[in-house]
Copies of this chain bind each other. A is one copy, B any other.
Amino acid sequence: MAKILIRAMVLPMTGLGDFYPEGEIVLDGENILSVGERGSAPAGFVPDRILDYPNDVFLPGLINSHTHAAMTLLRSYADDLPLMPWLETKIWPFENKMSAQDIYWGTALGLCEMIRSGTTAMLDMYIAMEQVAEAVLAAGTRAVLARGMIGNAPNGQQAFRENIELLKNFHQLGDKRITVMFGPHAPYTCSGEFLQQVKAEADHYGVGINIHVAETRDEVAIIQKYQGLTPVQWLDSLGLFGGHIAAAHCVYLTPEDMEILARKNVCVTHNPESNMKLNSGTAPVPALLAQGVTVGLGTDGASSNNNLDMFGEMRTASLLQKLQVGCTALPAYQVLEMATVGGAKVLGLDKVGQLLPGYKADLISVNLDQPHFYPRFSIPGHLVYSAHAGDVRTVIVNGKIIMEERNLLTLDEQKICSEVETRAKRIAAELS
């Protein structure tokens, strides 16, 4: 692995105000060796490569804490529809037609887009996850993978076995870039017994659980009707919490729910654009953060977003809370923390999400020498409120440069775009 010396602005995400306007980062193989002012590299360090970008800011790679990458196959297949007709007449029939190979190519497309927009790690829940794992291995990114399991579906136990197989075959693969979790879909699609089975296996293997929680009003009503509890209370009563839990959405929470999430160290992923597009609601993010709950940020799948761009997601997250709560809600730096430090915690990753010696070399650069980044009053402000996906110049994961000068080095984009176009149109034609 290469020894890389970076000279640029550095936003290490180690605390508000930490910033090196003329900074230096040293990467040694998979890890960060040093971060600091110009001249702070260890004496005698001889780099193989120097990246000299005085007008770029380097920051930790963004972490997409909740997505279904293969759903790029469904991008704009069905927009602007009511939720249930959308699911029943469009999304589910389309998904039923997807082959494992379709999922490989759809995931690869999502990874192309994520790398181009500065995302270095994702938490992905879907089906045919061995295909997702292969795409991640090829892309060179970091990922936590969970086999989505609809416990109440006829294939619930089959999915459960596939999740265990995924764990056995892919956990810690690719220089430990891949981690596996269990993926019970949601409180309203899994029985209490199924969730407890999953929890026992997660504890047995010492891995986490990824689950959708309290995403919609309907979910809350269903759980209330059948269990007499909120989704969070019900999951807590089942004993699901305690180990590592990554709970996506958490739009509808009572004060008691938030207290449970905080006490049980449940990590939450906020998905503002998907929650807006599907009319789900607004998660109480400032209240969760005030209680000390870890909150990451995710795009959800491309069928309800429709991009996988974490810069847009950061802006939307902040603007949405400012609208609902007030002008001071979710300041820029706090949103950046959600997309980096917070994301790493949601994914259960150690030494990821900040630029510090000994941490994994997962970092990106944004080219600030563009009109929408002047004047330079606040770099965090610019990254959250002004930046867009196309501003990312460099992407490095686990010490390896996977995008340089916007050239993607690990995946064949043309082939991937062409495969997805053909495969998605084939499925749509079969359904029309």
18 new A-B contacts at CB < 8 Å, known A72-B375, A80-B328, A277-B319: A79-B332, A79-B385, A80-B327, A80-B331, A109-B374, A116-B370, A116-B372, A276-B319, A277-B385, A279-B323, A279-B326, A281-B323, A282-B323, A306-B386, A308-B372, A312-B388, A377-B424, A389-B390
Interface size class of A (residues with CB under 8 A): 35 or more
1/0 contact string of A276-301 vs chain B (CB within 8 Å): 11110110000000000000000000
Could you give 11 example pairs across A and B, Cβ below 8 Å? A75-B374, A76-B378, A80-B331, A80-B332, A113-B372, A279-B322, A312-B315, A370-B417, A371-B413, A388-B388, A390-B390
Partner of A381, one of B279, B281, B306, B390: B306
Q: Are B113 and A371 in contact (CB under 8 A)?
A: yes
Chain B contacts of A276 at CB under 8 A?
A: 319-320, 322-323
Interface residues of A, dominant DSSP: helix
Residue of A113, A376, A385 with highest tally of chain B CB at under 10 A: A385
Q: Which residue in chain B gives the minimum CB-CB distance to A315?
A: B312
Question: A381 to chain B: closest CB distance in Å?
Answer: 3
> Is A38 an interface residue, CB under 8 A from the partner?
no
1/0 contact string of A74-104 vs chain B (CB within 8 Å): 0111011111001000000000000000000
Partner of A319, one of B302, B316, B375: B316
> Is A416 an interface residue, CB under 8 A from the partner?
yes
Given known A81-B328, A316-B316, A374-B421, contact A386–B76 (CB-CB < 8 A): yes
Q: Which residue in chain B gives the minimum CB-CB distance to A416?
A: B371
Q: What's the Cα separation between A319 and B377 when bound, in Å?
A: 29
Chain B contacts of A416 at CB under 8 A?
A: 371
Q: What's the Cα separation between A109 and B72 when bound, in Å?
A: 35
Residue of A79, A81, A83, A318 with highest tally of chain B CB at under 10 A: A79
> Is A263 an interface residue, CB under 8 A from the partner?
no
Q: What's the Cα separation between A369 and B418 when bound, in Å?
A: 10
Chain B contacts of A278 at CB under 8 A?
A: 322, 327
1/0 contact string of A369-403 vs chain B (CB within 8 Å): 11110111110011001101111000000000000
Q: What's the Cα separation between A112 and B375 when bound, in Å?
A: 13
Q: Which residue in chain B gives the minimum CB-CB distance to A311?
A: B388
Q: Which residue in chain B gives the minimum CB-CB distance to A376?
A: B421
> Is A179 an interface residue, CB under 8 A from the partner?
no
> Is A64 an interface residue, CB under 8 A from the partner?
no
Question: A421 to chain B: closest CB distance in Å?
Answer: 5
Given known A322-B279, A390-B390, contact A327–B82 (CB-CB < 8 A): yes
> Is A305 an interface residue, CB under 8 A from the partner?
yes
Q: Are B76 and A328 in contact (CB under 8 A)?
A: no
